[in-house]
Amino acid sequence: MHVFLVLKTCSGPIFGDMNANRYPQLRVLFFAITIPMLVISSTRADDAEVARAAYKQSFIDNDFSYLDDPSYQGQFLGERLKRLRPISDVTIDLGGRFRSRYHNENNLRSGRRLTGASDEFTLSQTLLFADVHIGDNWRVFGQAIDATSDGEDLPPRGSEVNRFDMQMLAVDARLLSTGDDQEWWLRFGRQEMHYGSQRLVASRPWRNTPLTHDGVRSWWKSDSARVDAFWVRPIDLAQHRPDDTNFDSPDQSRQFYGVFGTTKTDTARYDLYYFGMTEEDELVQTFAGVPGGFDVHTIGGRVLRSEGEVQFELEGGYQFGSFSSSRQSAGFATVGLGRTFERLPLKPTTWLFYDWASGDDDLNDGVHGTFYQLEPRGHYYLGLADLTGRQNIQDLNVQTSLAIRDDLECRIHFHNFWLANRRDALYTNGTAASFQDPTGSAGNEIGHELDLQLRWSISPRAHFLVGYSYLWAGDYFDSPVIQGGPAGIAPNGASGNDGEFTYIQSTLRF
């Protein structure tokens, strides 16, 4: 049985004279209370699992073929809009997602963090998709987005607002199919992308406006392997500010291209890749102050293995090319060891990770040694407070997840951050230099971060998330240089205080 409630948002008369823009917590409380009431169901566990697994990180990867199985007995929100067949050989899936997330950011509001800016606001995101399959060889996928920010005192970030726009619009064509489960596909148009661990290429699903691109992509796949090749131009976030009234257009100054291959066995996965990114506009500068573009090329690989309860991960890469007027020579590496304790209460899974991305240890030698992070899912790996990106950084972190119930999970992460090279800058997850002491006297102790999350899967369609992060600013931020005005390539201006982030998120998929 299902109970569906359709209620007006807090912008309507339901809140009377109360100003929802000044009290964003009312809006998130409204959704936090109502979304658990959206779906009350009694169904088989197997049916619930396949219904939950149908939705992927990017909705272009969704798979609702489970509804064609005559043994399926579930009934969940939105399923009546799936597998529609208006004519022979045409199958249509319609659906979307509504997500509302309340933020309270204390000393973390600016893009650079720890500069004294605080704010309280609510982000809302609506996605609507239509997926049309024509026979076995053609597909058209479109997805619209409306992303808003309400209740803030400070201007929203470019990644938070995108009004009534096209997030994806792509056509797939199957070029080849063999009887031994091998296929060759071509996709062209607007599309989200993510590869492997997503440390270098991700759609960044946490953001209110996920990354998307215009271009072409082709892949060959079999049961155990896949090879992708792509050439795209990213959608520029700058066009979302200050007033977002245009249809999104790609950044004509930037190209992103590469090849990604992966293969897997029962106990291991192996990735090998090449990514190239070229920027023609003068968006970056060397430490000598010379502005310019860049042309960076990254070759890397990853191994993920499991032996019983023990897991191991190793990923790394080397980056070459040019950065402004300098030669690029940089790298990154990640090593992790984890274990799932099946016999213990709550079945904890614990990982110990060390992340490193190179910085520049000689600012005047004509070689740029700072790794350029491309388009990473940094928020997921380098702390939920988003203080740093995968550039000139070291992070020793411990991550534990606890299965309180089948539908309730607790996650606890603790990070320790240091600069890889103390004369280089601390970079944001948007690649900008936020703080720097070119003399190195500020040291390299960036700080520590505790992240707590509680995830409740209310049903395959409704989810609830509450989280808290505390960032202890390290000795680096006590430096007069870091607290003062510009130095080197960074604006500086840290407050010297700690940061705190509280958030509540409700999600409904249909």
Over residues 382-391, the pLDDT tens digits come to: 999 999 999 9
CA distances from 482 to 288, 325, 489 (A): 19, 26, 12
What was the pLDDT predicted at 302?
A: 98
Q: What are all long-range contacts of 280-284, with beta carbons under 8 Å and residues at least 24 apart?
A: 280/253, 280/254, 281/253, 281/254, 284/323, 284/324
Most confident of 4-18, 37-51, 309-323: 309-323
pLDDT of residue 34: 55
- Asked whether residue 31 carries a pLDDT value surpassing 60, the answer given is no
Specify the pairing of strand 183-191 against strand 393-405: unpaired
pLDDT at 18: 40
Name the token pair of 116: 């004294």
| Helix, strand, or coil (residue 237) | helix
Is the pLDDT at 132 greater than 60, yes or no? Answer: yes
Give whole-number Cα distances, 302 to 192, 305, 313, 494, 506, in Å. Answer: 22, 10, 7, 36, 33
DSSP 157-212: PTTT-EEEEEEEEEEEEEEEE-TTS-EEEEEEEEE----TTSSSB---TTSSS---
From the list 125, 149, 277, 279, the residue with the least C-alpha distance to 210 is 125
Q: Decide if 313 is inside a domain.
A: yes
Report, as an integer, the average pLDDT of 59-64.
96
Q: What is the mean pLDDT of residues 464-490?
A: 95
Report d(CA 120, CA 468) in Å as an integer.
Answer: 14
Is 270 buried (19+), middle (13-18) or exposed (0-12) by CB count in 10 A? middle
Count of domains observed in the chain: 1
199 CB-near residues (< 8 Å, 6+ apart): 315, 332, 334, 376, 377, 381, 390
CA distances from 74 to 2, 39, 279, 322, 444 (A): 11, 12, 49, 55, 54
402 found inside a domain: yes
In a domain, 383, yes or no: yes
pLDDT tops 60 at residue 417: yes
Across the range 202-219, mean pLDDT stands at 96
Look at 11-15, 80-84, 482-486 and tell me which has the smallest mean pLDDT: 11-15
List all residues 6 or more positions away from 121 whose beta carbon is below 8 Å from its beta carbon. 24, 102, 103, 149, 150, 151, 152, 153, 156
Which of 17-26, 193-202, 450-459 is predicted least confidently? 17-26
pLDDT of residue 21: 47
Identify the bridge partners of residue 367 per DSSP, sorted by sequence position: 327
Distance (Å, whole) CA 411 – CA 86: 45
Q: Can you give the pLDDT at residue 238?
A: 78
- φ, ψ dihedrals at 198, nearest 5°: 70, 20
Computed over every residue of the chain, the mean pLDDT equals 90
- Adjacent-strand bridge partners of 321: 296, 328
Q: Is residue 261 part of a domain?
A: yes
Q: What is the mean pLDDT of residues 98-112?
A: 94
pLDDT, tens digit, for every residue of 357-374?
Answer: 999 988 888 899 999 999
Contact between residue 274 and residue 251 where contact means Cβ atoms under 8 Å apart: no
The closest alpha carbon to 24, from 209, 144, 160, belongs to 160
pTM for the structure as a whole: 0.90
Pick 453 or 26 by higher pLDDT: 453
H helix runs in 331-467, sequence order? 378-381
Contacts with 33 (C-beta within 8 Å, 6 or more apart), sequence order: none
**Tokens encoding 406:** 């089948």
Q: What is the mean pLDDT of residues 76-97?
A: 96
In a domain, residue 3? The reply is: no
pLDDT > 90: percent of the chain: 79
Domain membership of residue 1 (yes or no) is: no
Q: So what's the pLDDT on residue 14?
A: 30
Q: Is 23 exposed, middle or buried (0-12, 13-18, 19+ CB in 10 A)?
A: middle
Q: What pLDDT, in 10s, does the model give residues 233-245?
A: 999 887 777 677 7
pLDDT at 133 > cutoff 80: yes
Residue 460: closest CA among 48, 163, 24, 73: 48
Which backbone phi and psi does 112 adopt, to 5 degrees? -95, -15
Q: Is pLDDT of 392 > 50?
A: yes
Q: Check pLDDT > 60 for residue 510.
A: yes
Task: Give pLDDT, residue 291.
Answer: 85
Host domain of residue 325: 13-509
pLDDT in tens, 309-359: 999 999 999 999 999 999 999 999 999 999 999 999 999 999 999 999 999
Length of the chain: 510
Give the CATH number of the domain where residue 180 resides: 2.40.160.100
Smallest Cα–Cα separation from 92: which of 134, 126, 145, 143? 134
Q: Which amino acid is at 226?
A: R
When pLDDT is cut at 50, 70 and 90, the band that residue 1 belongs to is very low
Does 291 fall in a domain?
A: yes
Q: Tell me if 8 is assigned to some domain.
A: no
- The mean pLDDT value for 189-202 works out to 97
Residue 439 neighbours by CB distance under 10 Å: 12
Regarding predicted confidence, which is higher, 288 or 490? 490
